[in-house]
């Protein structure tokens, strides 16, 4: 929770201001610093192994022999897991993280269950093939723990809700009364968060969804929790709290205990 409030804090790609994003190091920091939820991004290799990495390409965050991969884009989906599992995904951030490797989805879920921290899977899942979605869902079943899914696709979120009774649900699509009514039709028994961005926030300016307003925030909170993403400062946190946010996603600039 954030200081003396009841607002939960979610670590975006782990505590990625202090460790390389989407690595076990970043997730361990989230646990150590008492965040409530960790968020991460799955991707699939050529042989359909589910790994954790934000980009579709390896170039930004992968190093081989301490060197960048070059200007030509190298896609995760074009590589076998055997080619990726020994690659360095940490030294781009700092040399001290050179031993970090690309986690499997199962690695993160198993760790989170043992650490008793909630997880949130990014909405990239809705772009996967049916076979890949089944792999994600089966991995969640196998590993257990408190695992939620983010979707702007209400039909996929409904499928997840039916398969995982009581699991957290996260909706990040357009906020209208009609969409919220549809969400309410299947979310009973699930802690359900509707995510919105702040207006004029540089980390979410690319997003085309309407930003949170007091009126939309009130509409959401009549039936759901309100989530605000992605914030970096206590000043931004105050804006979220003014909207009565229940959950805030941060890269690590906002700390649970100040």
pLDDT band at 25 (very low <50, low <70, confident <90, very high): very high
Using one digit for the tens of pLDDT, what is the confidence trace for 54-82? 999 999 999 998 889 989 999 999 999 99
pLDDT band at 164 (very low <50, low <70, confident <90, very high): very high
Residue 143 lies in a domain: yes
Residue 180 lies in a domain: yes
pLDDT band at 258 (very low <50, low <70, confident <90, very high): confident
Residue 255 lies in a domain: no
Residue 192: is its pLDDT beyond 90? yes
User: What residues pair up with 57 in beta bridges, in sequence order?
Assistant: 75
Measured in degrees and rounded to the nearest 5, phi and psi for residue 113 equal -65, -45
Cα→Cα distances 127→122, 148, 179, Å = 11, 17, 20
Residue 71 lies in a domain: no
CATH number at residue 196: 3.20.20.190
Residue 17: is its pLDDT beyond 80? yes
Residue 29: is its pLDDT beyond 90? yes
CA 57/CA 74 separation, integer angstroms: 5
Instruction: Taking the CA atoms of 223, 228, 234 and 236 in sequence, report the sign of the dihedral they define.
Output: negative
Residue 199 lies in a domain: yes
pLDDT of 65 reads 87
Provide the percentage of residues in the chain whose pLDDT is more than 70.
100
Average pLDDT of the residues in 126-130 = 98
pLDDT of 85 reads 94
HEC readout, the chain:
CCCCCCCEEEEECCCCCCCCCCCHHHHHHHHHCCCCEEEECEEECCCCCEEECCCCECCCCCEECCECCCCCCCEHHHCCHHHHCCCECCCCCCHHHCCCCCCEHHHHHHHHHHHCCEEEECHHHHHCCHHHHHHHHHHHHHHCCCEEEEECCHHHHHHHHHHCCCCCEEECCCCCHHHHHHHHCCCCCCCEEEEEECCCCCCCCCCCCCCCCHHHHHHHHCCCEEEEEEECCHHHHHHHHHCCCCEEEECCCCCCCC
Average pLDDT of the residues in 167-186 = 98
Contact 27, 33 (CB under 8 A): no
Contact 226, 193 (CB under 8 A): yes
Using one digit for the tens of pLDDT, what is the confidence trace for 210-251? 999 999 999 999 999 999 999 999 999 999 999 999 999 999
Residue 136: is its pLDDT beyond 90? yes
Our count of domains for the chain comes to 1
Residue 131 lies in a domain: yes
**Judging by DSSP bridges, how do beta strands 50-52 and 169-171 pair with one another?**
unpaired
pLDDT of 66 reads 86
CA 43/CA 55 separation, integer angstroms: 8
Residue 85 lies in a domain: no
Q: Which domain holds residue 110?
A: 8-43+105-250
Residue 65 lies in a domain: no
Residue 153: is its pLDDT beyond 80? yes
pTM over 0.85: yes
Average pLDDT of the residues in 3-13 = 97
Structure-token match 């200007």, residue found: 71
């Amino acid at each position: 929770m954030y200081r003396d409030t009841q607002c939960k804090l979610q670590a975006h790609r782990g505590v990625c201001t202090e460790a390389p994003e989407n690595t076990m190091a970043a997730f361990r920091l989230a646990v150590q610093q008492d965040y409530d939820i960790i968020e991460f991004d799955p991707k699939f290799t050529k042989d359909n192994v589910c790994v954790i990495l934000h980009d579709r390409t390896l170039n930004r965050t992968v190093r081989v022999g301490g060197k960048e991969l070059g200007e030509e884009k190298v896609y995760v989906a074009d590589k076998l897991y055997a080619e990726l599992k020994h690659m360095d995904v940490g030294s781009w951030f700092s040399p001290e993280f050179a031993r970090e490797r690309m986690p499997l989805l199962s690695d993160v879920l198993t760790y989170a269950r043992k650490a008793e921290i909630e997880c949130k899977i990014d909405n990239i899942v809705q772009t996967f093939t049916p076979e890949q979605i089944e792999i994600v869902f089966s991995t969640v079943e196998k590993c257990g723990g408190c695992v939620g899914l983010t979707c702007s696709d209400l039909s996929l979120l409904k499928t997840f809700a039916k398969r995982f009774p009581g699991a957290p649900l996260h909706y990040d699509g357009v906020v209208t009364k009609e969409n919220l009514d549809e969400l309410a039709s299947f979310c009973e028994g699930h802690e359900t968060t509707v995510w919105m961005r702040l207006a004029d926030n540089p980390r979410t300016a690319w997003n085309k969804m309407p930003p949170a307003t007091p009126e939309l925030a009130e509409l959401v909170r009549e039936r759901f929790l309100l989530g605000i993403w992605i914030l970096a400062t206590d000043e931004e946190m105050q804006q979220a709290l003014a909207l009565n946010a229940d959950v805030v996603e941060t890269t690590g600039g906002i700390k649970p205990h100040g």
